[in-house]
Amino acid sequence: MEESTTATITVPPYIKGRKGVVSDWSSDQKTFKGVPWGKAMMWIFLVADTFIFSIFLISYMTVRFSTKLAWPNPSKVFSLHVGHVSVPLLLIAIMTFILITSSGTMALAVKYGYQRNRKMCSIFLILTALFGASFVGMQAFEWTKLIMEGVRPWGNPWGAPQFGASFFMITGFHGTHVTIGVIFLLIMSRKSFRGDFDTGRRGFFTSQKSHYEAIEIMGLYWHFVDLVWVFIFAFFYLW
């Protein structure tokens, strides 16, 4: 006579309080179940990057409050001459408008990507990359102008020497993010145009297959870069 066996399923105990939160977030089957790993890793990267930018901005505010010398007036330092008129923050306003507009084109690229309209997706990715490249070009012009006027990481002609170090560190770190984003936008545009996301063609750097979900992940990065610039604009150029 055959003996019947009954399978038992072990259910993990429910943990309350702070330990329960840690337990849930430690298991990908609970917190990240159904979430693509690429998107989850991008969110983790952006959270870590948020801490870095926060440290930079907090350090900048600390320097502003602690220095005994006069801080340069951003309206005068970052002004441009249009004819015989000095317009404060003109270049910065154009850069901000360009970067915010690029968020709209990036959103449209994600929209057409999920509609599998690879031509329109590629066009809007290229437009976003052009906006980003224009931003970096204007930032290079701004750096060149200030360097020719005597701004250095260790000093400047208008007051507190910490101004130069803060300016080059914060805007340079953000500009690096934009430059990296432009490179990947062009790569994504090429992959979209030739239909790699439709066929599931494997990537050049890795053996992973590509899907339109990669456009959304790219969009998360680009929107983050745009959002960070809003804080830099408010803290550095308007304060």
* Token code pair at residue 21: 């939160």
Q: Which long-range contacts (CB under 8 A, 24 or more apart) does 96-101 make?
A: 96/229, 96/230, 96/233, 98/131, 98/134, 98/135, 98/138, 99/131, 99/132, 99/135, 99/178, 99/225, 99/226, 99/229, 100/226, 100/230, 101/131
CB contact at 8 A, 204 and 81: no
Q: Distance (Å, rounded) from C-alpha 178 to C-alpha 230?
A: 14
What's the CA gap between 96 and 138, in Å, rounded?
Answer: 11
State residue 213's pLDDT score: 85
Position of tokens 């990296």?
180
The answer on pLDDT for 65 being more than 60 is yes
Q: For residue 21, is it within any domain?
A: no
Distance separating alpha carbons of residues 31 and 43, to the nearest angstrom: 13
pLDDT of residue 4: 47
Does the structure show a pLDDT above 90 at 232? yes
Kindly state whether residue 4 falls inside one of the protein's structural domains: no
User: Residue 26: inside a domain, yes or no?
Assistant: no
pLDDT over 80 (residue 6): no
Spatial distance between the Cα atoms of 97 and 138, rounded to a whole number of angstroms? 12
Rounded Cα distance between 203 and 128, Å, is 22
- Looking at the domain assignment, is residue 6 inside a domain? no
d(CA 21, CA 167): 40
212: helix, strand or coil: coil
For the chain, the domain total comes to 1
User: What is the signed CA dihedral for 111, 113, 117, 122, rounded to 10 degrees?
Assistant: 110
Residue 24 lies in a domain: no
pLDDT in tens, 197-215: 777 666 665 556 677 888 9
Look at residue 60 and tell me if it is in a domain: yes
pLDDT tens readout for residues 115-167: 889 899 999 999 999 999 999 999 999 999 999 988 888 888 888 889 999 99
Q: What is the pLDDT of residue 205?
A: 55
**Which tokens go with 79?**
């002004």
Domain coverage including residue 58: 36-237
206, part of any domain: yes
Question: Is residue 75 in a domain?
Answer: yes
Supply the CATH number for residue 203's domain: 1.20.120.80
Residue 190: what are its φ and ψ, rounded to 5°? -65, -45
CA gap 175, 129 in Å, rounded:
13
